[in-house]
Amino acid sequence: MSAERPDFDAGRNLLLLGERRIIFHCHHYNLFLQRSIEDGLGPEEATRLQVAAAMESARPLLTKLYAKEPELALVDKLLLAQRLFGSLGFGQADCTDLTAHGGQIRLLTSHYAIGWLAKWGTASRPVCHFPVGFWMGALCAAAELPPERLQGRELSCHAQGDARCLLEIEVL
């Protein structure tokens, strides 16, 4: 499991995973920042930015982790992403429907949806932009797809009152 745990350089206070910096933040900051980005840019552009930033962040990190285990099949790479998603605290994902041609990811729990509900109550729009981008980045890295071929969206969100969050990735 240590492949999915960041290394801690205690002298410099650096946490590194897949050669990328990992930092602790709590749901108050994560959801406050998300709302601030919406306040600054408007909801549509803020959503696009957060999905793109999540994909940009997750893809190289997972590419590095996959490179350490080149024998892994696509399904095993996606399961690694699923374990990573959970160990980092983003929620419990079920990606068994996902293939190199796209598919859906169910979030049995979602940090962003739970955090939004706890801070602000029921949301008027889906809030799991980071998870959408994370899973686009994970599929892109695992199936070695050009990122331009992927589109992603959240079909239903726990923060809006749905039982579960459901994400969809389309491969053009």
Partner 1 sequence: MAIDEQKIIEAVSQLGISGNEEGLIPAFGLYLTQHMADYYNRISFAMAHRLERTPELIDDGQTLLMEAGHGCAFHTFGGIMKSAEWDAVVRPMLQTKEDWVYGMTAVVNTFGWGRWAVRDLVPGQRLVVTVQDSYEAAGYLRDYPRSASPRCYLATGGVAGLMNLLYVGDITQGPELSDAYYKQVFRSPSRFVGTEVLCRAVGDPLCLFIAQRLP
Sequence-distant (6+) residues with CB within 8 A of 143 are 74, 100
- 73: contact with partner 1 by CB under 8 A: no
Taking every pair of C-alpha atoms in the chain, what is the biggest distance, in angstroms? 46
For residue 62, the partner it binds in partner 1, Zn ion, none, with Cβ less than 5 to 8 A by kind, is none
Tokens at residue 66, please? 């996959």
Taking the complex as a whole, the smallest distance from the CB of residue 50 to Zn ion amounts, in Å, to 13
- CA dist 1 and 21 (Å) reads 19
Is 70 a binding residue for partner 1 by CB under 8 A? The answer is no
> How many CA atoms, within 13 angstroms, populate the side-chain half-sphere of residue 69?
20
CB of 17 to Zn ion, least distance (A): 24
Stretch that binds partner 1, among 72-80, 114-122, 152-160, 164-172 (CB under 8 A): 114-122
The reply to whether 19 sits near partner 1 by the rule CB under 8 A is no
Task: Give Cβ neighbours of residue 132 (< 8 Å, ≥ 6 apart).
Answer: 51, 54, 152, 153, 154, 167, 169
Residue numbers of the site for partner 1 (CB under 8 A)?
5-6, 8, 10-15, 20-30, 32-33, 36-37, 39-41, 46, 49-50, 52-54, 56-58, 61, 85-93, 108-109, 111, 114-115, 118, 130
